[in-house]
Amino acid sequence: MQYTDIAVIGAGLAGVSCARQLAAAGSQVTVFDKSKGMGGRMATRRGDGFSVDHGAQYFTAQQPDFHAEIHAWQAAGLCAPWQARLVQHRPTGPVDGYPEHRYVATPGMSSLCRALAAALPVQLNHRLTALQRQADGWQLSFADQPSWRARQVLLAAPAPQAAALLDAAPALRALAAGVEMEACWAVMLHAQAPLEIGFDAAWVEHGPLRWLARNSSKPGRSGAESWLLHATPAWSAAHIDAPADEVAGLLHAAFAELVDSAVDARNRSAHRWLYAQAAQPLDIGSAYQAELGLGLCGDWCLGTRVEDAWRSGRHLAGQLLAAS
Ligand SMILES: Cc1cc2nc3c(=O)[nH]c(=O)nc-3n(C[C@H](O)[C@H](O)[C@H](O)COP(=O)(O)OP(=O)(O)OC[C@H]3O[C@@H](n4cnc5c(N)ncnc54)[C@H](O)[C@@H]3O)c2cc1C
C-alpha cells in the first residue's frame, strides 16, 4: 500500500494552496482528486474550437494578502485583468455594472490550479470513498484504485462531500453537514457569430438567469465566440433532475429573450453544479483536529468565492504547521 505523510483530498484552489504551503514548509504531501483534471469549481470546458469557464467566472481581492497573491500570479502569467463591459440587467433593461478589478486565470480558469500544483504529487481519478482510522493514521479507500495510507488527511471538498467521508470524526462531520450548498445549472453556447448586444457580461436581476458572460471576451482565450449562462439557485433547484438537454434549451431561450436577439449556436451543453456555493458559509477559516490528524478546508469555511478557498487552504496549513 502506498504511503504519504499528508493526504489532501481535493485539487481545487483550497486543496492546492494548502498543499503548496505544507510542501514549502518541508512536509511530504500528496493531493488526490476524483476528477480527471485540476481546479474543481474553477473549471474550463474545451470543445471543438472553443472553450468556456463554466464554474467560477472571475476573482476579485477583498484583502491585501490575496491582492498581493494575484499580482504574483499576474507576474507569472497565470492570470490577467478582465476588462469586461459589465451590466446589471434589470427588468427595465441594462444599466452599468459595479466597477471592480476582476481577474481571470489564463488561458482558462482551470489552468491556475494546474500551474500552482505543477511541483506537487497529484493523483487524479482518485475518488476517496472511505477513511478508516488506524493506529498510526488513516487508510484511504478509493473507487477503482488501490488504497493508500496517510498520517494526516485534509479534506478540501465541498461541505456535503466532506461530511459523507467523516463517520470517524463526529464533530467535524457535524460541522460540514451543517453547511448547505446551492446548486447551479450552467449552459455553454458556442455561437455562430458574434452577438452585438453592447455588453460582455451581466448580473441578471429577473427571470431564470443570474449571470451571463461572453467567455471569449476574457483575456488569453482563443477560438470562436462562446457564452456562459448561469441559472439562479431557485431555478436550478426547481430543475435539479431535469435532463441536461432540456435545461440547455430552456436557458438558451431565456438568454435570447433577455438580449432580444436570435442567438444561433453551433452547439450547446449544460453542466449541473450540485454544490456550487454555500447558502450560509461558516466563518472559521478551517477546522483541524490534531489528535485525529484530520482537517477540513474549502471556500465554505469562510465564504463563497475563490479568495475564500485560497484563504481557507492556507489557514488549514497554518493550523497544521502550528500544531506540529
Ligand atoms: C457556477 C459557479 C460560479 C462561481 N462563480 C464565482 C465567481 O465568479 N467568483 C468567485 O470568486 N467564485 C465563484 N465561484 C466559487 C468558486 O468556484 C469557489 O469558491 C472555489 O473554486 C472553491 O474552491 P475549493 O477548493 O474550496 O473547492 P472546489 O473547487 O470544489 O474543489 C474541491 C475538489 O474536491 C474534489 N473532491 C470532492 N469529493 C472528492 C472525493 N470524495 N475524492 C476526491 N476528490 C474529491 C472535487 O473534484 C474538487 O476538485 C463559483 C462557483 C460556481 C460553481
Per-residue pLDDT of 249-258, as tens digits, reads 999 999 999 9
Q: Ligand 1 centre and the CA of 55: distance in Å?
A: 8
Kindly state whether residues 191 and 51 are assigned to the same domain.
yes
Q: Ligand 1 centre and the CA of 95: distance in Å?
A: 30
Kindly state whether residues 20 and 51 are assigned to the same domain.
no
Q: Which of 141, 117, 145, 143 is nearest to 131 (CA)?
A: 141
Q: Whose CA is nearest to atom 15 of ligand 1?
A: 305
Q: Ligand 1 centre and the CA of 193: distance in Å?
A: 31
Asked if 307 and 214 count as a contact pair (C-beta separation under 8 A), the reply is: no
Q: Ligand 1 centre and the CA of 91: distance in Å?
A: 31
Kindly state whether residues 186 and 236 are assigned to the same domain.
yes
Q: Which of 52, 90, 73, 276 is nearest to 183 (CA)?
A: 276
Kindly state whether residues 262 and 294 are assigned to the same domain.
no
Which CATH number is 65's domain given?
Answer: 3.90.660.10
At 203, phi and psi to the nearest 5? -85, 125
Task: Tell me whether the omega of the peptide bond preceding residue 107 falls within 30 degrees of 0, making it cis.
Answer: yes
Average pLDDT in the chain:
96
Which CATH number is 316's domain given?
Answer: 3.50.50.60
Residues 71-91 have a mean pLDDT of 96
Kindly state whether residues 208 and 225 are assigned to the same domain.
yes
Asked whether 293 lines ligand 1 (CB < 6 A), one says no
What's the pLDDT band for 98 if we cut at 50, 70, 90?
confident
Kindly state whether residues 264 and 211 are assigned to the same domain.
yes
Q: Report d(CA 250, CA 254) in Å as an integer.
A: 6
Kindly state whether residues 166 and 122 are assigned to the same domain.
yes
Q: Whose CA is nearest to atom 6 of ligand 1?
A: 56
Asked whether 43 lines ligand 1 (CB < 6 A), one says no
Kindly state whether residues 25 and 157 are assigned to the same domain.
yes
Kindly state whether residues 163 and 186 are assigned to the same domain.
no
Q: Report d(CA 153, CA 296) in Å as an integer.
A: 9
Please state, in angstroms and as integers, the Cα–Cα distance from residue 306 to each residue in 65, 72, 132, 207, 214, following that order: 13, 16, 31, 26, 20
CA dihedral sign of residues 199, 58, 45, 163: negative
pLDDT over threshold 80, residue 295: yes
Residues 271-282 have a mean pLDDT of 98
Helices 64-75/306-323 angle, 10° precision: 100
Kindly state whether residues 89 and 192 are assigned to the same domain.
yes
Question: Residue 92 corresponds to which cell in the numbers above?
Answer: 427595465
Identify the pLDDT of residue 192.
87
CA dihedral sign of residues 266, 113, 140, 133: negative
Kindly state whether residues 147 and 22 are assigned to the same domain.
yes
Give per-residue pLDDT as tens, 155-199. 999 999 999 999 999 999 999 999 999 999 999 999 888 999 999
Structural domain that includes position 87: 44-109+181-279
Residues 241-266 have a mean pLDDT of 94
Q: Ligand 1 centre and the CA of 257: distance in Å?
A: 30
Number of domains in the chain: 2
Asked if 54 and 271 count as a contact pair (C-beta separation under 8 A), the reply is: yes
Asked if 125 and 34 count as a contact pair (C-beta separation under 8 A), the reply is: yes
Q: Report d(CA 163, CA 173) in Å as an integer.
A: 5
Burial grade of 26 (CB within 10 A; 0-12, 13-18, 19 or more): exposed
Among 9, 41, 181, 203, residue to substitute to test ligand 1 (most atoms within 8 Å of Cβ): 41
Kindly state whether residues 170 and 132 are assigned to the same domain.
yes
- Checking 94-100 for CB contacts under 8 A at 24+ apart, the result is 94/198, 94/199, 94/202, 97/201, 97/202, 97/203, 100/60
